[in-house]
Chain A
Amino acid sequence: MQQIVNFIVKYKYFLFFLLLELIALIFTVQSHSYHKSKFVNSANAITGGIYKRINSFKEYTNLKVYNQQLLDENAYLRNLLAQQPVDSMLRLKKMIDTTKYFQQYSYLSAKVYRNDYHKKYNYLLVNKGSKQGVKPDQGVINGKGIIGITNTISKNYATVLSILNGNSKINVRLLNSYHFGTLEWDGKDYNTLQLIDLPIQATIKIGDTIITGGKSTIFPEGIPVGTILNFKKENNAYQYINVKLFNDMSAIGPVTIITNFDKEEIEALEETITK
């Protein structure tokens, strides 16, 4: 007994060091996994509040850029409206009181308080949380493409798992054919992502457009993602396909959070299959 006490007294700093280091390593391992209950995250009142202050200054200096982004997005949406035949516009007007019944998605605007793109596991912080009805696993987009998926949620803030994160996997497809693949990031260039699992039957060429596939409940189908930058075809398979994003991930303006009303129904249905 005396020996044990002596040992502890002699190595007390080392043991204390080991204990704290172990805690730090547990947090690290937790952050490397696709977890939605991380203890260390920036979606809390203190860090969120400080980032809010910083952002109010940054926002002002970026007003011109953000205005241009919003104008571009408006023009894009107006073009979509203009492509609609006239009678369907009238039909849309008629079902105003039942929109909730037919509507599958709703969109919520949010500000980006923090945006990382130089690490391997990047996260964003946005100013909408559980008070505004944000839940984990909702898609986040802006006018030019996809940004990420909501992760940890607090009352007023949410962290977003960026598409520039080692754990991010997004279902995408080619614009001109229904061949699906998965979009991942190798941690190198923040404007180039990798398309994997694309079947060899899909014929691609440089410059082809990639859009979201709509096979998950997170992103609706058809959101623009990027274009094919280069690829290598070998042994009857695509070795790699690099995708250049439409978005500049280092300068993200205002974003939109997507709610899918059919999500619970789809997930409940999928659970019955796996059982």
Chain B
Amino acid sequence: MNDVIKNTALFIGLVLVQVIVLNNILFWGYINPLPYILFVIIYPVKKDRGLFLLLSFLLGLCIDFFSDSGGVNAAATLFIAYIRLPLLKGLLRKPEIDFPVFTIFKLPFLRLLSFIAILTLVHHFILFGLEYFKLNMILTIFSKTFLTSIFTIILLILSLLFMDKNK
């Protein structure tokens, strides 16, 4: 029960912070960091993934509703939610994960960083790829993906450090 309340608060909190604060921040006029994917990173890793996929999709869709962007955030967030488990297994080099005791806070820093970086880069690449959707815009897509990812990753690490300390 406690978990349900916590995750609901996280969901609503992330949407509001993204929409009210971060969508108004534009570094150099066009870089808009998207740390709402923190949800995908810290949502408890469980064997049953149905609810997690649905929530990630809805989170992206909420952001899309606020920013009139069709379904690009939903598609990207759902995709990284789906690849999260295979990616974790790959990073830990284990075929199975000990679900009840596993949290990402126990990961060594470098592995956590590469976990966050891969998810962020994939998310942003799908997002901008779907938004521009033209082969001759590929350079814009790559530069936007790369620059935005830097800011998103910094914000994600800061919020993870903050959460870790409060525990």
Contacts and interface: CB of A to CB of B under 8 A. Distances in A.
A125 B66 CA distance: 10
A187 B19 contact: no
Interface string A37-63: 010111010110011001000100000
A223 B133 CA distance: 33
B53 A28 contact: no
A24 B67 contact: no
B71 A28 contact: yes
Given A17-B82, A40-B64, A40-B68, A12 B50 contact: yes
A115 B59 CA distance: 22
Nearest to B49: A13
Tell me if A's interface is mostly helix, strand, loop or mixed: helix
Interface size class of B (residues with CB under 8 A): 35 or more
B27 to A, nearest CB: 10
Interface in A107-142: 116, 118-121, 123, 125
Given A13-B82, A20-B54, A116-B68, A28 B49 contact: no
B65 to A, nearest CB: 6
Given A12-B50, A17-B82, A118-B32, A42 B67 contact: yes
Nearest to A44: B65
Contact of B53 (A16, A190, A250): A16
Nearest to A124: B68
Contacts of A125: 68
A118 to B, nearest CB: 4
Interface string B102-133: 00000000000000000000000000001111
Interface of B: 16, 19-20, 24, 26, 29-32, 49-50, 53-54, 57, 60-61, 64-72, 74-75, 78-79, 82, 130-133, 137, 140
Given A24-B71, A187-B140, 19 more contacts: A12-B50, A13-B49, A16-B54, A17-B53, A20-B53, A20-B57, A20-B74, A24-B78, A26-B71, A29-B70, A31-B69, A31-B70, A41-B65, A42-B65, A47-B65, A50-B66, A54-B20, A120-B132, A187-B137
20 contacts: A13-B53, A13-B82, A20-B74, A24-B78, A25-B71, A25-B130, A26-B71, A27-B64, A27-B70, A27-B74, A28-B130, A31-B72, A32-B133, A40-B69, A40-B70, A46-B65, A47-B65, A50-B19, A116-B68, A121-B68
